[in-house]
Structure 1
């Protein structure tokens, strides 16, 4: 295909159709962010999920959004340009179990040979792009697809246009299509992470967002205990964590170095840190990240994840 012809057919960020396979919290967050901050018309959004539990809510929240129970419709009937794969790894694992020497397709059949370039973004932990292509592309003619595929990690802060998104290529390079870059950038800050490290990034940045809210809540509980109102306690706890984040990124210093800069001899900070050390809080936080990573991999690889 000539560059001129490909450019003419390529999706445009202002008109592309966007599809989601899976309707869980990640899909909901991305959709909310795209509508509110990316100014995407809900009529351009399409979601496939076997149950109406989440899709009914999405339709109510975003008038015009289209839903289906068939994954194939995202590629066929709806003919989407940008597709997010947002199911857990157990879905892919089951396809490999069913298929024997080759996995069963994620769609009813393998996706059709679409007549335009399209872009697939996988949020599925535990599976590399090669394995995902095997459940999508017709093995009879896998090279005929005009597909660009990436593994990404994006956290739920995307719902507020404040997400962090790891991409398996340099975001500013020609390896990432402009339409993909523009959509993701409207809800998140883009960072490069090699595909081999994407599962780790999901644990620290995806699940880590929940751990951060947990810490902020605990910090505000302490402030409430000593007299601040709940509203003030939450606000100051959040602003303090934001200060820590910004100074860390701005200075380039190691967290331990900045921690020492805050602690005065015999001061309140060092006394408080001794309590955290006695409670082994650092080990608990590290363990939480490891547990999140282990769970994602077990969903992707175990026959009966518990």
Structure 2
């Protein structure tokens, strides 16, 4: 790596796909000052998602090959159904053969074996790492997991962990767990947004103004999460500490149990995990 590069061991970073997840990771790298905008290359077939990247000051293009040529680490950030088309565009727009590239896949459900097979047709010595991040990396509160391909090095793992840790926590896990982890942490923010909205709705029903209700609901969820992480106590113990005998909280818990909130959330993680596996089989 060149000595003048901003993020040691990373160099220039590319994103094939410019959507929300790519923006969250790129935004975290820029926000923390670990990467300069001039060292980021982004490709997208249309101008739909390019606005934030242009504001960041990054290089933008419609040619995936341009991103691969100019980047040391390339995030594959398109939807899984567009993988083949994106790789074909890389092949068609490369001006010259490339080597020594690390590809980081954000594609839900697509296994490392498939990724390596397809990427190696274009870049034979490419190393591949599969990542499941979530959008809160943009605000420094993300939860990301990753698994390394057969040729990825220890240094590659360190680089990916370093980049994703700029936006929260990041942990290497077995690929056999990555779909389930994605069904929890990758999809989980959407579940929590729904919970926040529902809590806000309940307060509005009881007369609290909407803006105030949403603020209070969001802070309540944030505070509860911090209590779990910082005290190390089991969530059930923390719940019991709030539930006074005959009090308001236990009555609310009873209503949640009658509504099957536990079972529904468990089924949400299960459904997302199974869908990720289906997407992988389709590839």
Q: What range is the shorter-chain TM-score in?
A: 0.7 to 0.9
Give the Cα separation in 2 of the matches to 1:10 and 1:202: 35
Alignment check: 8 A CA contact 1:89 1:301 kept: no
Higher relative contact order (CA 8 A, sep 6+): 1
| Counterpart in the other structure of 2:200 | 220
TM-score, normalised via structure 2 length: 0.83
Alignment check: 8 A CA contact 2:132 2:186 kept: yes
Pick from 66, 71, 74 the counterpart of residue 80 of structure 1.
Answer: 71
Superposed displacement of residue 250, structure 1: 3.1
Question: Structure 2 matches for 1:103-114, cutoff 5 A?
Answer: 107-108=90-91, 114=98
Unmatched segments (≥5 aa) in structure 2: none
Partner of 1:74, secondary structure, is: helix
Alignment check: 8 A CA contact 1:168 1:194 kept: yes
Change (3 A) 1:295 1:128: closer
Superposed displacement of residue 109, structure 1: 5.5
1:24-59 deviation per Cα after TM superposition (whole angstroms, max 9, x unaligned):
22112222222223453222221222233212x234
1:124-175 deviation per Cα after TM superposition (whole angstroms, max 9, x unaligned):
1222222211111248x93xx2x44311111111222222221226xxx945
| Counterpart in the other structure of 1:166 | 145
Alignment check: 8 A CA contact 2:164 2:170 kept: yes
| Counterpart in the other structure of 2:129 | 150
| Counterpart in the other structure of 2:216 | 236
Alignment check: 8 A CA contact 1:50 1:69 kept: yes
1:56-103 deviation per Cα after TM superposition (whole angstroms, max 9, x unaligned):
x2344223x222333222222xx20111111222234x57xxxxxxxx
Give the Cα separation in 2 of the matches to 1:261 and 1:192: 33
TM-score, normalised via structure 1 length: 0.77
Give the Cα separation in 1 of the matches to 2:116 and 2:89: 10
Change (3 A) 1:295 1:230: same
Partner of 1:13, secondary structure, is: coil
- What is the aligned-residue RMSD (CA, Å)? 3.1
| Counterpart in the other structure of 1:125 | 108
| Counterpart in the other structure of 2:40 | 45
Pick from 132, 135, 138 the counterpart of residue 118 of structure 2.
Answer: 135
Partner of 2:208, secondary structure, is: coil
Change (3 A) 1:8 1:231: closer
Unmatched segments (≥5 aa) in structure 1: 1-6, 96-103
